[in-house]
Amino acid sequence: MGTVRVGISGWTYAGWRGDFYPTGLPRRAELAYAAERLTAIEINGSFYSLQRPSSYATWRDQTPPDFVFTVKGGRFITHLKRLVGVETALANFFASGVLALGPKLGPVLWQLPENLRFDLAKLEAFFELLPRTTGAAARLAAQHDAKVPDALTTATEDRPLQHALEFRSQTFCVPECFALLREHRIGCVVADTAGRWPHAEQVTADLMYVRLHGDKELYASGYDEASLRSWAAKCRGWADQGQDVYVFFDNDAKGHAPHDAMTLISLLAEP
């Protein structure tokens, strides 16, 4: 049996204050408040810029012992370098403090830009660079450059490290791509995007990574109970097959994400 974890993509949103977050709750307490009600959170600040080991350590310490973070890989790697010549950039990413999460570190998400088309050789070369254990990530981190002055290049223990890929070009929806994902044990992200980007429900690894951006309006619409029951059934099915399942709501624009996440958690708890 696999496990199912449900959460949100990021947790710092002004529009959630006075709604999901009670009025008067200090901003420094928002992560702990969210973590008490959810079972995982996707760190998305790491997509925009390199973070610091002290930040990851603070996030680790503010959450319950059994909590899990997933970390979004940097857009410098995926959008600017477009997966090519990224050895040092990958070292910098892992040196920036990701390993400070310790046992709370879950999969790493790599989100590709919409205009990046499927290229088997390019994608395979990128996959071969990805560390598959925290020990390998620490060794890679040791190759960082001066962009990471306070680097963390050690891991408290050597644990498996999973990766998931979210593509946004329909050119990836071909057997060759899914076969490559299976060969390298990379999870294929199931993305619900109101029809904007591809929706592929392919089992390619021992994890299923689901990102729910809104089924009717991208980033904005909420999910009704029927939709959430459907997702709960899919999650149970994947877990019954042995996959670990991570579900993150990214329909944050109107504050639906945390509420939808809590509803899905309650539906999954039903007998």
CATH (residue range 4-269): 3.20.20.410
Question: Over the stretch 117-132, which tens digit does the pLDDT of each residue have?
Answer: 999 999 999 999 999 9
What percent of the chain clears pLDDT 70, i.e. is strictly above it?
100
d(C-alpha 233, C-alpha 248), whole Å: 16
CA angle 11, 15, 16 (to 5 degrees): 50
C-alpha 120 chain-centroid distance: 23
φ/ψ (deg, to 5) at 134: -70, -30
Please name the residue ranges forming H helices in the chain.
Answer: 30-37, 45-48, 53-61, 75, 87-95, 120-129, 134-141, 175-184, 225-240, 256-269
CA angle 242, 110, 195 (to 5 degrees): 85
- pLDDT, residue 214, reads 96
Q: How many residues does the chain have?
A: 271
d(C-alpha 178, C-alpha 88), whole Å: 27
- Classify residue 52 by burial, with Cβ atoms within 10 Å: 0-12, 13-18, 19+: middle
Q: What is the mean pLDDT of residues 180-190?
A: 98
CA angle 26, 29, 35 (to 5 degrees): 145
Question: Over the stretch 81-106, which tens digit does the pLDDT of each residue have?
Answer: 999 999 999 999 999 999 999 999 99
- Classify residue 201 by burial, with Cβ atoms within 10 Å: 0-12, 13-18, 19+: exposed
| Measured CA distances, 158 to 31, 57, 65, 132 (Å) | 27, 18, 18, 10
- pLDDT, residue 237, reads 97
Average pLDDT along the chain: 97
Q: What is the mean pLDDT of residues 75-81?
A: 98
CB atoms within 10 A of CB 85: 9
SS3 207: strand
Tokens of 219: 């980033």
Tokens of 23: 């009025």
SS3 29: helix
Write down the domain spans for the chain: 4-269
pLDDT at 271 over 90: no
| Measured CA distances, 188 to 173, 246, 259 (Å) | 10, 12, 25
Question: Over the stretch 231-255, which tens digit does the pLDDT of each residue have?
Answer: 999 999 999 999 999 999 999 999 9
